[in-house]
């Protein structure tokens, strides 16, 4: 998980914040706040259903594909 810490900051750092599903729904879905949602499930799990607008990068591939994730707005994993 150290690559996530480098990208988003460590616990309590300014680089990340925990967002509950209810907060996500209110802040990002209902209020349409700009963000990038990254779904880290497998492609098979993702194809079974996903939040519209989410991009799928499996957890196993996340480190190799981090450069594909836009960072010009908040990233929700």
Task: Specify the CATH number for the domain of residue 30.
Answer: 3.40.250.10
| Domain residue limits at 63 | 21-76
- Is 45 inside a domain boundary? yes
Task: Give Cα 43 distance to the centre of its chain.
Answer: 15
Residue 11: which of 20, 2, 23 has the closest Cα?
2
- Is 11 inside a domain boundary? no
pLDDT of residue 17: 84
pLDDT of residue 61: 94
- Is 38 inside a domain boundary? yes
71: pLDDT confidence band, cut at 50, 70 and 90? Answer: confident
- Is 49 inside a domain boundary? yes
Give the chain's domain count.
1
User: pLDDT per residue over 14-63, tens digit each?
Assistant: 577 888 999 999 988 888 889 999 999 999 999 999 999 999 999 999 99
What does the radius of gyration of the chain's CA atoms come to, in whole angstroms? 13
């Amino acid at each position: 998980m150290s690559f996530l810490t480098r990208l988003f900051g460590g616990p309590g750092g300014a680089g990340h914040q925990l967002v509950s599903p209810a907060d996500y729904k209110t802040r990002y879905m209902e209020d349409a706040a700009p963000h990038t949602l990254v779904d880290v499930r497998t492609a098979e799990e993702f194809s079974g259903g996903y939040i519209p607008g989410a991009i799928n990068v499996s957890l196993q591939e996340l480190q190799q594909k981090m450069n594909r994730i836009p960072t010009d707005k908040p990233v929700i994993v």
